[in-house]
Amino acid sequence: MAYPYVSDLEVRVISKYFGDPAHRRIDTYVERGGYKALEKALALEPDAVTDEIKASGLRGRGGAGFPTGIKWSFMPKEPTRPHYLLCNADESEPGTFKDRELMRWDPHQLIEGC
């Protein structure tokens, strides 16, 4: 099924693979360069990953735009038990469906970005 809102006049960045069902498969995502950031992160110490995120200036997409690196630094440091970092996919703005489409057409980008 082709994504219905494609125009030759637009430059698609985030939605580059919308409408391509193959992109939802992990093998296709990896073939297209996916999970490179995860590969890099796994080669670093946890604090170095957080420092990279802080240096990038990445901010949350909520109304406050909280710095992601700061948020990640709140994760407990003790390896005594598992710790989890969650991705909030709540889409509470009335009439918007952007997050739903991102999760539908590019789920691995969402997972890698979390």
Q: 76, 78, 69: which is closest to 48 by C-alpha?
A: 69
Evaluated on CA atoms 46, 25, 36, 99, the torsion sign reads negative
According to the model, what pLDDT value does residue 36 have?
A: 94
According to the model, what pLDDT value does residue 93 have?
A: 73
Per-residue pLDDT 10s for the chain (114 aa) are 456 666 788 887 777 888 888 999 999 999 999 999 999 999 999 899 999 999 999 998 777 889 999 998 988 777 778 777 777 777 777 777 777 888 888 888 888 876
pTM as predicted = 0.69
Neighbours of 17 (CB within 10 A): 20
According to the model, what pLDDT value does residue 43 have?
A: 96
